[in-house]
Structure 1
Amino acid sequence: MKLNRRTFLGTAVAVTGTLSAPMVMGAGHGKPKVVVIGGGAGGATAARYIAKDSEGAIDVTLIEPSREYYTCFFSNLYLGGLREMNSLGHSYGTLASEYGINVLHDWAVGVDRDAKTVTTAGGYTLPYDRLVISPGIDFIDGSVQGWDVSAQNAMPHAYKAGSQTELLRAQIDAMPQGGVFAMVAPPNPYRCPPGPYERVSMVAHRLKQVNPTAKILIADPKEKFSKQALFEEGWNAHYSGMIERIGPDFGGTNVTVDPSAMTVDIDGDVNKVDVCNVIPAMKAGRIAEIAGVTDGNWAPVNAIDLSSKIDPNIHVLGDACAQGDMPKSGFSANSQAKVCAMAVRGALTGSAVFPARFANTCWSLIDTNDGVKVGATYEATDEKIAKVDGFISSTGEDASTRQATYEESVGWYDGITADMFG
């Protein structure tokens, strides 16, 4: 079935539709209250489905500091010059006006699990019956020697979309002819496994147009990476001689950067570079740690409903959670959010709850209309979200297949953003 906005949303409704009218389960303080922290693919989706499918029986508050949310997925296409930045931005107005969600643009800075309250930087204290935390990722200090967030303007990470993405694009466009773009790739696990390598592809696409003698250097701590054969095939076909990857066998695990000198030291070999994209090791967004629901880096959850293994009244979604086999992706977060929303709605209103089902697809663009994908379906077990089956694009596919894959990804983008923001 061709994936587009209509089919994506239709599938979503089939999975999570309400079977019966909700009946509020005696919360002594009026409507049950759900607070959702984080307005991305996990949080915005969860807030919308809880509000929509409870038909007003649950009071939903979404806490998100940004008034306009820029998707990290598809931001690499902006770096490649194939998409405008404004096409990645989405507002929360429809969630408020059509679904009755209280959208609070603020930072969540505290969680009192005993009192079941969330405090914000703006001074609000919000009670909850269930709390959904979907804060995305933060970076592990010291994971790349010489780099911390204070150096993100000199050496951008651009792994939280928006101003960092625009900065990296400006630095790419300002490179001298024949200059060097370097990437320090992250160790597993991290947000969007194919993301750094799609980024390399899109940077190469841009440089091929405006700076064809430029070089790209990747320092990578991993022995292998997602869709490796597909990316390497594409790099050889489209960007021959431009891209060099240094893996762990050649020093990719021993990297030091100097933002002031713009150098990258790979196992003692010092490289002067013009742009350096440092993507550090990652962990759950800070508020998950503040809430005390992480194992130090990620938040362990139960597969059946994404509830925290530390506190059953808290659910953790998307990139921040440790759930098993699903990759950390926008599609995964959206899929988990629907399962979570259904479970929360059932717990608070007594409405029907269906067996948990999960899916993920990650698309990547290598060059114009040269799209590839990988994906799988999953089920909830007592131990984890477990992979059931999967698929991946093949090397050597014809141009029409690759173009169809790219067009499918555009349909998915339109569908998931409509699913998130209404």
Structure 2
Amino acid sequence: MTFNRRSFLGAGAAAAAILSAPMVRGQGKPRVVIVGGGAGGATAARYIAKDSKGAIDVTLVEPTRSYYTCFFSNLYIGGFRDLSSIEHSYGTLASEYGVNVVHDWAVGVDRDARTVSLAGGATLPYDRLILSPGIDFVEGAVPGWDVSAQNKMPHAYKAGSQTELLKAQIEAMPQGGTFVMIAPPNPYRCPPGPYERISMVAHKLKAENPTAKIIIADPKQAFSKQGLFEEGWNKHYPGMITRIGPDFGGGNVSVNADEMTVDVDGEVIKADVVNVIPAMKAGRICDMAGVSEGNWAPVSGHTMQSRIDENIHVLGDATNQGDMPKSGFSANSQAKVAAMAVRGALTGSRVFPAKFSNTCWSLIDTDDGIKVGATYEATDEKIAKVDGFISQTGEDADLRKRTFEESVGWYAGITSDMFG
């Protein structure tokens, strides 16, 4: 079947019928290439391989051999987990599910030939391509900062060495020193949420450096779970945290990495640690593939197919899909929808209507957990929120502890769902 752009964009009602017939080039097994081995890509690889029972050849391209989850990385900074607890390998995907795991960088996509080029020189053909590259940063978003400055002013928004570096810098702060975060504009990857990170930094400093100060320069008028965080900060870290919103210059910020200074609307702050979290965009491979519009890749919520190329699906943080936040839970949920759609397209298996869910947990202090979440459904225009829930201010300690314990159970469950 051949799509033009207009018929594809309006294909919501007919999505199940469209995907019911195999669409495979040539002979032999259909081939799926997945770029990015996080919550979206690893989940998609596992589900396609598992549910197709070997009928589809699945290749996962991911440069790192050990994957560190952004979700729960803030808890490592706060001292609640060690780094190894957020580290995962791809061995089970390969050994038990037959996924061909290639540790290399994808550096190009030829949409006409349907091939992915790798930095090592290999070329991978595909019948369907899934892109789940996470985020990159918008160049020039914070004047004075680019990735060459990330060792002096880390972002720690790609977990692993950056997370270790930020924690080490916090531990090396002088007594009474100053920690500054440059918070990102919307939309941004969450977790690792900026405001949970502030809570975890405050938790660590309260124990080790109680006279230290934390400043947030924030371009947003408001942020998710704001009342809950501010209640928690006043309770656990009184006087330690100052947030400068846009009305007071939080959106007019530049930095000098060599001098370790932050200029907030003309006022220069000398800092000991600066956590710069710039504006974000889809991972670079989306631009290389030509499936981005602006900073993000538009997709159909029914199948997570690109609205630019129906042979490509895009997942997670990189997407412009509607109401879902850019979270690991969201990417995992979207991956299952995409896996079902891909399997239906390539093998003729049944495709059910897309349903999605998300919960984002945050830890404010020991056993003080909060959450926000929702369920979603696909419409022809977007992934639309159906209903939601959020923790309430004033909740008792037992409920907050149960909320945190729930998040720990979720972490164990989602990482098993991703990596097997």
TM-score range, shorter chain: over 0.9
**Residue deviations 1:93-114 (CA, integer Å, cap 9, x gap):** 0000000000000000000000
Amino acid at match of 1:386: A
SS in 1 for 2:169: helix
Q: Work out which of the residue numbers 205, 214, 217 in structure 1 matches 2:215.
A: 217
SS in 1 for 2:405: helix
Tell me how many residue pairs correspond in the alignment: 401
Pair 1:137 & 2:124 matched: no
- Residue of structure 2 equivalent to 1:203: 201
**Residue deviations 1:149-206 (CA, integer Å, cap 9, x gap):** 0000000000000000000000000000000000000000110177000000000000
- Residue of structure 2 equivalent to 1:299: 297
- Residue of structure 2 equivalent to 1:19: none
Q: Which runs of 5+ in 2 are unaligned?
A: 1-19
CA contact (8 A) 1:326 1:360 kept: yes
Q: Work out which of the residue numbers 322, 327, 330 in structure 2 matches 1:329.
A: 327
Shift of 1:25: 6.3
Shift of 1:229: 0.1
- Residue of structure 2 equivalent to 1:171: 169
Flag the 1:402–1:296 CA change in 2: closer, same or farther, 3 A. same
Q: Which runs of 5+ in 1 are unaligned?
A: 1-21
- Residue of structure 2 equivalent to 1:43: 41
Distance in 2, Cα, partners of 1:253 & 1:417: 36
Flag the 1:297–1:182 CA change in 2: closer, same or farther, 3 A. same
Percent of paired sites with the same residue: 78
**Residue deviations 1:253-302 (CA, integer Å, cap 9, x gap):** 10010100000110001000000000000000000110000002100000
Distance in 2, Cα, partners of 1:28 & 1:125: 18
- Residue of structure 2 equivalent to 1:267: 265
- Residue of structure 2 equivalent to 1:243: 241
Q: Where does 1:346-361 land on structure 2 (aligned, <5 Å)?
A: 346-361=344-359
Distance in 2, Cα, partners of 1:376 & 1:66: 32
- Residue of structure 2 equivalent to 1:17: none
SS in 2 for 1:326: coil
Q: Work out which of the residue numbers 88, 91, 102 in structure 1 matches 2:89.
A: 91
Distance in 2, Cα, partners of 1:24 & 1:352: 11
Distance in 2, Cα, partners of 1:57 & 1:122: 28
SS in 1 for 2:350: coil
Distance in 1, Cα, partners of 2:64 & 2:294: 26
**Residue deviations 1:52-104 (CA, integer Å, cap 9, x gap):** 00000000000000000000000000000110000000000000000000000
Distance in 1, Cα, partners of 2:280 & 2:251: 16
Deviating above 3 A after TM superposition, structure 1's stretches of 4 or more consecutive aligned residues are: 22-27
CA contact (8 A) 2:24 2:127 kept: no
SS in 2 for 1:336: helix
- Residue of structure 2 equivalent to 1:119: 117
Shift of 1:24: 6.9
CA contact (8 A) 1:134 1:320 kept: yes
Q: Where does 1:34-73 land on structure 2 (aligned, <5 Å)?
A: 34-73=32-71
Amino acid at match of 1:107: W
Q: Work out which of the residue numbers 305, 311, 314 in structure 2 matches 1:313.
A: 311
- Residue of structure 2 equivalent to 1:3: none
Normalising by the residue count of structure 1, what TM-score does the alignment of the two structures yield? Answer: 0.94
Distance in 1, Cα, partners of 2:169 & 2:86: 20
**Residue deviations 1:323-361 (CA, integer Å, cap 9, x gap):** 000000000000000000000000100111111000000
**Residue deviations 1:213-233 (CA, integer Å, cap 9, x gap):** 000000000000000000000
Q: Work out which of the residue numbers 178, 181, 188 in structure 2 matches 1:180.
A: 178
Aligned residues: CA RMSD: 1.1
